[in-house]
């Protein structure tokens, strides 16, 4: 088995900037020694997270993207507040492709349905795919990356090869191959799509977690915790992971946008969410044939999609700036 540590150029993904993370002693209650009693938490330097939060609050980019994301989540949770029109019931073919009318500010789709209402009700599934896929890759990729980075040796070698194998299939390509299988074609839903996206999306998070955990695992505070009798596993959970989290959170935020795009791309190709599920991707797909004559039913869901993705990317950027002191100084 090749020695992983001596082959630094195994990572083929775009090189992530290194995050020099400020290390602080874990909170007093996390350290099972009475000796830390004298170190009151009040005198301790601010933690990385409260430091980051102070920085974030001053960033217009963060405030803007935060407001946008909260608004999108609110729309997804309570679509009824934003439109009186039910999305699918009052569709009259007489209205097919019609422009804005009283009560229908964004006009009508080819099927004569209200565009605004469809955009509003489509928020939920698009966001759900993004959120649950991100949660899935964070849990699976994060766990695999953390274990590979922390334990090293043959565990790392095997997990890294496994990641390489999945990495050789780009997300969209892998998803397209799997989505068309009879097994998935017959059970198309938000959940099967999430499973597929997680299956092909986890290696990226795993790589970043692994690199971040490796940069932390030999830090003095981990050695200190181990020498105080903390087991390897709980040192990983309580000391290594919290300090290795920053770059992972940044990439996770950005990948939430990526998954929303992936869902809409697959739906756009007609193989994503089933046609009876309202989503921005499905609406763009059904507006596509008439885009030359009536571009508006395509424009509005595309705008909603782009704004949502943009806010997650901006949030990721803002988090990166706040969590990376090196970037701040520049």
Partner 1 sequence: MSWYIIRRVLQLIPVFIGATLLVYFLVFSLPGDPTAAICGERGCTPAVEAALREQYNLDQPFWVQYFLFIKGVLTFDLGVNFAGREIATIIAEVFPTTARLAIMALVFEAVFGILFGLIAGLRKGKIFDSTILVVSLVVIAVPIFVLGFLMQFIVGVKLGWASPTVSGAAPFNELILPAVVLGLVSFAYVLRLTRTSIIENVNADYVRTATAKGLSRRRVVTVHILRNSMIPVITFLGADLGALMGGAIVTEGIFNVNGVGNTLYRAVLNGEAPVVVAIVTVLILIFCIANLVVDLLYAWLDPRIRYA
Site for partner 1, rule CB under 8 A: 2, 6-9, 12-15, 17, 161-162, 164-166, 168-174, 176-186, 257, 261, 264-265, 268-271, 284, 288, 291-292, 295, 298, 302, 305-307, 309-310, 313-314, 317, 330
Q: Tell me how far, at minimum, the Cβ of 136 lies from partner 1, in Å.
A: 18
> Who contacts 176 (Cβ-Cβ below 8 Å, separation ≥6)?
266, 269, 271
Choice between 122 and 241, CB closer to partner 1: 122
d(CA 160, CA 206): 9
- Nearest Cα residue to 256 out of 68, 13, 59, 51: 68
Choice between 90 and 306, CB closer to partner 1: 306
Choice between 11 and 73, CB closer to partner 1: 11
- Nearest Cα residue to 167 out of 144, 192, 190: 144
d(CA 211, CA 236): 14
Choice between 245 and 287, CB closer to partner 1: 287
CB 208 within 8 A of CB 142: no
Structure tokens at 252: 């996770």
* Residue 167: C-alpha distances to residues 121, 171, 210, 283 (Å): 34, 8, 15, 30
Q: Tell me how far, at minimum, the Cβ of 6 lies from partner 1, in Å.
A: 6
Choice between 101 and 307, CB closer to partner 1: 307
Q: Tell me how far, at minimum, the Cβ of 171 lies from partner 1, in Å.
A: 8
């Amino acid at each position: 088995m090749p020695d992983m540590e001596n082959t630094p150029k195994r990572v083929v993904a775009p090189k992530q900037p290194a995050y020099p993370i400020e290390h602080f002693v874990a909170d007093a209650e996390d350290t099972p020694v009475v000796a830390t009693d004298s170190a009151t938490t009040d005198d301790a330097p601010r933690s990385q997270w409260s430091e980051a939060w102070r920085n974030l609050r001053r960033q217009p980019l963060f405030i803007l993207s935060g407001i946008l994301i909260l608004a999108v989540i609110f729309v997804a949770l309570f679509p009824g507040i934003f439109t009186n029109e039910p999305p699918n019931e009052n569709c009259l073919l007489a209205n097919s492709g019609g422009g804005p009318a009283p009560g229908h500010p964004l006009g009508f789709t080819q099927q004569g349905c209200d565009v605004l209402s469809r955009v509003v009700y489509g928020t939920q599934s698009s966001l759900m795919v993004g959120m649950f896929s991100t949660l899935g890759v964070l849990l699976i990729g994060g766990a695999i990356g953390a274990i590979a980075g922390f334990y090293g040796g043959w565990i790392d070698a095997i997990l890294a090869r496994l990641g390489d194998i999945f990495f050789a299939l780009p997300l969209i390509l892998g998803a397209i191959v799997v989505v068309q299988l009879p097994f998935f074609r017959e059970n198309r839903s938000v959940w099967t799509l999430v499973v597929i996206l997680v299956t092909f999306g986890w290696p990226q998070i795993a790589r970043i977690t692994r690199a971040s955990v490796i940069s932390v695992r030999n830090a003095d505070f981990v050695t200190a915790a181990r020498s105080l009798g903390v087991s390897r596993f709980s040192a990983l959970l309580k000391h290594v992971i919290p300090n290795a989290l920053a770059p992972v959170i940044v990439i996770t935020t950005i990948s939430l946008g990526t998954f929303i795009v992936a869902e809409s791309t697959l739906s756009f190709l007609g193989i994503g969410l089933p046609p009876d599920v309202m989503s921005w991707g499905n609406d763009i797909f059904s507006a596509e044939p008439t885009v030359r004559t009536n571009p508006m039913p395509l424009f509005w869901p595309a705008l909603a999609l782009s704004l949502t993705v943009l806010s997650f990317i901006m949030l990721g950027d803002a988090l990166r700036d706040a969590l990376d002191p090196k970037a701040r100084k520049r």
